[in-house]
Amino acid sequence: MNFFKKSDDKQHLATIEGYRQRIASANMPSNVQQIAERELEMLSKTNPAAAEYAIGLTYIEYLVSLPWHKKTSDNLDLERAHRILNERHYGLSEVKERIIEHLAVKIMVMNRKPTILIVDDEEIARNNLEHILKKEDYAIATAKSGMEALKILDSSAFDVVLTDIKMQTVDGLEVLEKTKSKYPDTQVIMITGFSAVDSAIETIKKGAFHYIAKPFKLDEVRSVVKQALKKKLSTISSKGSILCFSGPPGTGKTSLGKSIAEALGRKFARISLGGMKDEAEIRGHRRTYAGAMPGRIIEEIRRAESSNPVLMLDEVDKIGQDFKGDPESALLEVLDPEQNQSFIDHYLDVPFDLSNVMFIATANIAYNIQGALRDRMEIIEFSGYTEDEKAMIALLHLVPKQIREQGLSDYPPEFTAEAISKVINEYTREAGIRNLERQISTICRKIATEFVHHKESIRNISVTPELVERYLGPRKFYLEVADEKNRVGVTTGLVWTEAGGDIIFLEAAKMKGKRELILTGSLGNVMRESAQAALSYIRSNASLLGIPENIFEYQDIHIHVPAGAIPKDGPSAGVTIAIALISLFLEKPTRRDVAISGELTLSGRILPVGGIKEKILAARRAGVKTVILPLKNRVDVENIPQDVKKGLEILLVERLEEIMDKVLIK
């Protein structure tokens, strides 16, 4: 080491020694520790001025700072969990119920005493095994013969079955077959005399987990049973084990995730997959890249300082669009309990155990999640809130929270119900309550500012509708439906977007031309095709509909959907487009307060559509009186709680002709 000065030399040695100690006390798995030590050994011989030196140190720094074995201990009190979810969130009872069920299953799997069945006709062997395994705190059942084992298996399931191979009448092979056919996830360990090991190996091909030879070795019995149990538990917890919260923004997905973490006493972390462009953001860059970094999963775990946080993967429905690499398979690996015990981040290059992480995914539209990923998830739907729910949430949660955050706790202003209702209807138009919270925050902030100027003025302030207008300015939204006249060629439709349900106005116009169909307003391909199909249906049924046949001869037809900045697609506007066209050709105006959603076939049948609840909520927000939906959506409509449908007339129809006199004004 003659490439630096004495003083540098000293410092270099001190640095290396410092890391040596940190490696020793980092509580890493032994293979990782070896790698870190080897890396440090190499660095001790490297010139500290060299680029590799800094890169190497950063790597070691990363290894020692990861919570390899650091875990928070779970609070498994379900009643407390229920209470926390309830205290933090209004309503959402079905969602909360499903979350509690999910936690209960997880807790049961984690806490239940593993169950083991020992089958051996030799008493000494049976007692011996029972003695060894009882000490491990397993729940043990025993059977004196294969016959008795079959009977027990008829009525009870076990995590692991240990069975002797050679027994009278019913042998171990039959016990194995019966167990596997009835409980495919149960692991079977075969017991064999020392001389018959070959036949035991054969049983593995038939589905046995492993075999143990007599006379038993204590350690071997313990370790084989433990491995079998691990395999069994990983298969249980893998089934539908990842929750996915799906719904529009601002409906409480993130905040429920946080409450779950709080209830369990775990750390909470969050990764947004929406903005990602590269698989390496999930799985890290190899260290051969300059400036390589670990992926976000490992990074968030490091930040959480715990290997078992609740990790929220936001916007799983957005991955895959212009992504580099294969993000889907990277995520599948992260979420798969069989693989994620040894997740390899490219930067770390050593396995990290993710099996203790509780993943929760979120999506705006679950339907858009790629198939294999969706199969792994238990999807819980969050839908938008009604006005009444929003008002309750505002009064019980948003207002108190903003009063706290804006430092108004000493003189809390009181929000009147009318003021809240005004904010909801005139300053927001959304499925969730994100904007509502923002507006309430603005009001509180302005009150706080006034307080700074004239201290006395804000004691006992009552926030009234007038005050809302003073603080938030003129109203931002109008009841689009009620505030305008009925028109020819303009029909009200309902669409389902990422942000929840929304209302659209479809406009059709005709002009002199050469039978061209012009479509504008950010329409996707499916919507364009729906428009074509609607026009074809009308042309082929013109006389039936009372439309002059020659109307198509020298005309261009233009269909437009305003609010062009929002991309719109999907087949559900088919019926709406058809009605706009019919209104145009018959020159009869349509009722603006009737909103329609349905897919149209070329023969005039109406097919079911998605997002019914979101659409109904959107219709109510916009002041619609009547909603026309496909008859085939009857079950969806029936499943929607009564208070969501309150004040709306909902008509279910099968054919286009049934709608005309409900919408067209004579």
| Interface ranges with ligand ADP (CB under 6 A) | 89-92, 249-255, 393, 397, 432-434, 437
Q: Within 10 Å of residue 112's Cβ, how many Cβ atoms?
A: 11
Instruction: For the CB of residue 251, give the shortest distance to ligand ADP in the complex, in Å.
Output: 4
Q: Which is nearer to ligand ADP, 68 or 90 (CB)?
A: 90
Q: Which is nearer to ligand ADP, 607 or 640 (CB)?
A: 640
Instruction: For the CB of residue 618, give the shortest distance to ligand ADP in the complex, in Å.
Output: 17
Q: Which is nearer to ligand ADP, 442 or 633 (CB)?
A: 442
Do residues 238 and 336 make contact, with C-beta atoms less than 8 angstroms apart? yes
Do residues 171 and 143 make contact, with C-beta atoms less than 8 angstroms apart? no
Q: Which is nearer to ligand ADP, 254 or 416 (CB)?
A: 254
3-17: string of b/e by CB count within 10 Å (b at 16+)?
A: eeeeeeeeebeebbe
Distance, in Å, from the CA atom of 137 to the CA atom of 139, rounded to the nearest integer, reads: 7
Residue nearest to ligand ADP (CB): 252
Q: Which is nearer to ligand ADP, 434 or 445 (CB)?
A: 434
**Angle, in degrees to the nearest 10, between helices 197-205 and 172-182:** 20
Instruction: For the CB of residue 393, give the shortest distance to ligand ADP in the complex, in Å.
Output: 5
* H/E segment holding residue 212: strand 210-213
Instruction: For the CB of residue 255, give the shortest distance to ligand ADP in the complex, in Å.
Output: 3
Q: What string of DSSP letters covers 377-429?
A: EEEEE--PPPHHHHHHHIIIIIHHHHHHHTT-TTS--EE-HHHHHHIIIII--
Instruction: For the CB of residue 180, give the shortest distance to ligand ADP in the complex, in Å.
Output: 43
Instruction: For the CB of residue 50, give the shortest distance to ligand ADP in the complex, in Å.
Output: 47
Distance, in Å, from the CA atom of 149 to the CA atom of 176, rounded to the nearest integer, reads: 10
Report the side by side order of strands in the sheet with 210-213: 139-143, 115-119, 160-164, 187-192, 210-213
Terminal Cα distance for the chain, rounded: 98
Do residues 234 and 369 make contact, with C-beta atoms less than 8 angstroms apart? no
Instruction: Give the pair of three-digit tokens for residue 227.
Output: 């491995």
Distance, in Å, from the CA atom of 367 to the CA atom of 614, rounded to the nearest integer, reads: 14
Active-site positions read 572, 615
Q: Which is nearer to ligand ADP, 174 or 378 (CB)?
A: 378
Instruction: Give the pair of three-digit tokens for residue 115.
Output: 């169950």
Distance, in Å, from the CA atom of 489 to the CA atom of 582, rounded to the nearest integer, reads: 8
Q: Which is nearer to ligand ADP, 254 or 601 (CB)?
A: 254
Q: Which is nearer to ligand ADP, 377 or 609 (CB)?
A: 377
Q: Which is nearer to ligand ADP, 231 or 438 (CB)?
A: 438
- Which residue from 65, 71, 62 is spatially nearest to 26, judged by alpha carbons? 65
The C-alpha angle with vertex 460 and arms to 457 and 462, in degrees rounded to 5, equals 100
The strand pair at 500-512 and 555-560 is best described as antiparallel
Instruction: For the CB of residue 500, give the shortest distance to ligand ADP in the complex, in Å.
Output: 10
Distance, in Å, from the CA atom of 528 to the CA atom of 505, rounded to the nearest integer, reads: 16
- Which residue from 540, 517, 542, 543 is spatially nearest to 530, judged by alpha carbons? 517
Instruction: Give the pair of three-digit tokens for residue 112.
Output: 């239940």
Instruction: For the CB of residue 48, give the shortest distance to ligand ADP in the complex, in Å.
Output: 47
Distance, in Å, from the CA atom of 348 to the CA atom of 287, rounded to the nearest integer, reads: 8
Instruction: For the CB of residue 654, give the shortest distance to ligand ADP in the complex, in Å.
Output: 36
